[in-house]
Amino acid sequence: MSERIVNALSFDIEDWFHMVEIEAVADASKWDTFESLVERYTEWIVQTVTEANVQATFFVLGWIAERYPNLVKLMVDSGHEVGTHSYWHRKVYELTPETFAEDLRQSIDVIEAAGGQKVRGFRAPSFSITPGSEWAFDVLLDAGLEYDASLFPASRAHGGYPCDPRPHTSMIAPSGRPMPELPMTMMRLGPATLPFSGGGYMRLLPGWLLRKGFDQLNAQGRPTVVYLHPRDFAPDCPRVPMSLKRRLKCYVGCGTTKDKLKMLLDRYDFTTCTAVLGL
Ligand SMILES: [Zn+2]
C-alpha cells in the first residue's frame, strides 16, 4: 500500500471586483462602493476547512486585510497559514521591480498587523510571474518571503511559466538565489495537459474528472494544489458587463463549488503550502 499523498489547499482571498481586466471594476478608487461578498464566503470557507480538521493556506490581498483584519485573525486563530496575494492585485509582469517591492511590502505589513503571523509565501494575482519577470523572485527574497506559489506551468490568458510542474527549488531568480516553488498542478487527459484544481476549472469540471486528476497525480506521488476564491462559491456574485467568454469564465458553476470542496475534503488529505513544501 503506497503512502497517502497530502495535497495543498489554498485560497486567494479577494472580492469579486478584483477580477482582472473587467472594465466595470478596473478603477480601484471605486472598489469601496461595490457590494462585498468576501466576508460571508471567507467565513464559510474557514469554518468548513477547520471543521474538516484541515490546515489551509490563505493568500490574502493586502487591500482586503486592511479592511477586514478580523478575517485574517480568524484564519490565524483557526490554525491556518496566511500568505500574501499582493496589495492591489496588479499583474506582476506589468509592474517595475520597485513598484512590485512597494506593493508587496504594503501587503505584508497589513497582513502581519492583522494576524500576528509572519507571512512566508506569495501567490501572484492571475499567476502573473511570466518569462521576463523572473526579477520578481529577487523582490520576494529581499522581502523575506520563503516560498512562491505563482508559477503556472502551461500557457494561460494572464500568466504561464514553463517549469517543473512538481514542487521544486526554483533557480530563476536573476541573483541565483534558490526559492522553494509550489507550481499549479495539471492533469493529463489523453494528449492534453489540463488545469483542473482551482478557480474556473474546478467550477466547470464535473466531480469525477476532479477525482481523476487527484488520483492520477497522487498515484505518481505528487500533491495536487487546490486554489479557490470566495467568489468561486458565490452564485449571487454581482453581474457586471463583460464579454460572453469572460462571463462564462467568471460565473459558470459557482453553485457547485461548495459541494466539490466538501467532496474533496472527504476523500483526500490536505495541508498548507508550507507543509507540502516541507518548510
Ligand atoms: Zn487573485
Average pLDDT, integer, range 226-251: 83
Query: Looking at residue 223, what is its pLDDT?
Result: 98
The predicted-structure confidence for 218-238, as pLDDT tens digits, reads as follows 999 999 999 999 999 998 888
Residue 125 and residue 92 in contact, taking contact as beta carbons nearer than 8 Å: yes
Query: Looking at residue 238, what is its pLDDT?
Result: 80
Q: What is the 85 CA–ligand 1 centroid distance (Å)?
A: 7
Q: What is the 111 CA–ligand 1 centroid distance (Å)?
A: 16
Q: What is the 126 CA–ligand 1 centroid distance (Å)?
A: 6
Q: What is the 76 CA–ligand 1 centroid distance (Å)?
A: 20
Query: Looking at residue 2, what is its pLDDT?
Result: 53
Beta-bridge partner residues of 179: 170
Query: Looking at residue 221, what is its pLDDT?
Result: 96
The predicted-structure confidence for 45-65, as pLDDT tens digits, reads as follows 999 999 999 999 999 999 999
Beta-bridge partner residues of 225: 8
Q: What is the 86 CA–ligand 1 centroid distance (Å)?
A: 9
What structural domains does the chain harbor? 6-276 (3.20.20.370)
Question: What mean pLDDT is reported for the chain?
Answer: 94
N- to C-terminal Cα distance for the chain?
26
Nearest CA-CA partner of 38 in 19, 24, 54:
19
Query: Looking at residue 231, what is its pLDDT?
Result: 94
Q: What is the 3 CA–ligand 1 centroid distance (Å)?
A: 33
Could you tell me the CA-to-CA distances from 197 to 8, 120, 153, 213 in Å, in that order?
10, 23, 13, 8
Residue 1 pLDDT > 60: no
Nearest CA-CA partner of 49 in 277, 275, 272, 274:
272
Query: Looking at residue 157, what is its pLDDT?
Result: 67
- Strands (E) in the chain, as ranges, are 6-13, 57-60, 81-84, 121-122, 147-148, 168-170, 179-181, 186-189, 192-195, 225-228, 269-271
Residue 202 and residue 54: Cα distance in Å, rounded? 19
Query: Looking at residue 57, what is its pLDDT?
Result: 98
Q: What is the 44 CA–ligand 1 centroid distance (Å)?
A: 19
